[in-house]
Amino acid sequence: MFLAVAGKGGTGKTTFIALTIKHLLAAGRRPILAVDADPNANLAQALGMEAPTSIAGIMQAVAEDREQIPLGMTKDQYVAYRLHQSLEEGQDIDLLVMGGPEGPGCYCYVNNLLRAQLQKLVSSYAHVLMDNEAGLEHLSRRTTQNVDYFFVISDATVKGIRSAARIKELAQSLKLRLGQEFLVVNRARPGDKEALLPEITKTQLPLAGTIPVDPLVAEYDLHCRPLLALPDEAPAVQAVRELLQRVGIL
């Protein structure tokens, strides 16, 4: 299963991925590869894992010290050789971190490396979950082949739902090969869903479910505690379980 999320910054993408992983683990579904393709990487913390050197970080280090490149190897070959450093191997989860280019750099090279890494790795895992950046700038058919589940995460505002609709359109125009696409409305208060329904319908994204405002989620985040350690009764944890059951993942 290849699952990817997209959405504006701060909508809850990382939270959703971490809680989905929590449920997959509870259901004994492993091995899992988590891919943090958000330049503002924070998935490691949500999973309680060490953050590996990012792909962008490896490139940066090689660029800054070319003397380390062995004689007879090109820079590209050497970067490819060092890519294994971008994979943190945990007990049940492995984590691959893309990182962002320093300054207004180009993503193309990092993307190509991410794609190459993914191609090499995906077949070793039962589940691959990809936390994408706010936009879809770095997504292409080539980085996200055969996505089975694509979740666009939105906050519970009209503006948020409209940007979710734009993300769906963007994904369409990029001709991404997406299996099932869904909308998730996060940080919803009672009544929000009903109020937002007209806007949600316009997106033509089926609503997978809503996730309520959950003070525990914010508290864990604030104290850098892994979301995997959230109690099963926490409202957000329960909501994500129901949502995953609804779409047939659990």
Ligand X SMILES: Nc1ncnc2c1ncn2[C@@H]1O[C@H](COP(=O)(O)OP(=O)(O)O)[C@@H](O)[C@H]1O
Taking the complex as a whole, how short is the minimal distance between the CB of residue 82 and ligand X, in angstroms? Answer: 27
Residue closer to Mg ion by CB (options 52, 199) is: 52
Angle CA(87)–CA(243)–CA(96) in degrees, nearest 5? 5
Q: How far apart are CA 45 and CA 118, in angstroms?
A: 21
Q: Which of 11, 14, 53, 132 binds Mg ion (CB under 5 A)?
A: 14
Residue 2: which region, alpha, beta or left (left: phi > 0; alpha: psi -120 to 50)? Answer: beta
Indicate the SS3 state at residue 125: coil
* Amino acid identity at 132: N
The residue number whose beta carbon is nearest to Mg ion equals 14
107 contacts: CB under 8 Å, gap ≥ 6: 101, 137, 138
Tell which residue, 140, 62, 64, 131, has the closest CA to residue 99: 131
Helices and strands in the chain: count of H runs, count of E runs: 9, 8
217 binding ligand X? (CB under 6 A)? yes
Binding mask 2-21 for ligand X (x = CB under 6 A): -----x-xxxxxxx------
Residue closer to Mg ion by CB (options 86, 186) is: 186
39 binds, among ligand X, Mg ion, none (CB under 5 to 8 A by kind): none
20 binding Mg ion? (CB under 5 A)? no
Residues 136-195 that bind ligand X (CB under 6 A): 186-187
Q: In sequence order, what are the beta bridge partners of 178?
A: 147
11 binding Mg ion? (CB under 5 A)? no
Residue 183: φ, ψ to 5°:
-105, 140
Taking the complex as a whole, how short is the minimal distance between the CB of residue 38 and Mg ion, in angstroms? Answer: 5
218 binding ligand X? (CB under 6 A)? yes
Determine the interface stretch with ligand X among 58-66, 141-149, 160-168, 206-214 (rule: CB under 6 A).
206-214
210 binding Mg ion? (CB under 5 A)? no
Alpha helix (H) residue ranges in 83-191: 108-121, 158-173
Binding mask 25-64 for ligand X (x = CB under 6 A): -----------------x----------------------
The torsion defined by the Cα of 243, 244, 248 and 249, in degrees rounded to 10, comes to 170
Query: Which parts of this chain interact with ligand X (CB under 6 A)?
Result: 7, 9-15, 42, 186-187, 211, 213-214, 217-218, 221, 236
Query: Which parts of this chain interact with Mg ion (CB under 5 A)?
Result: 13-14, 38
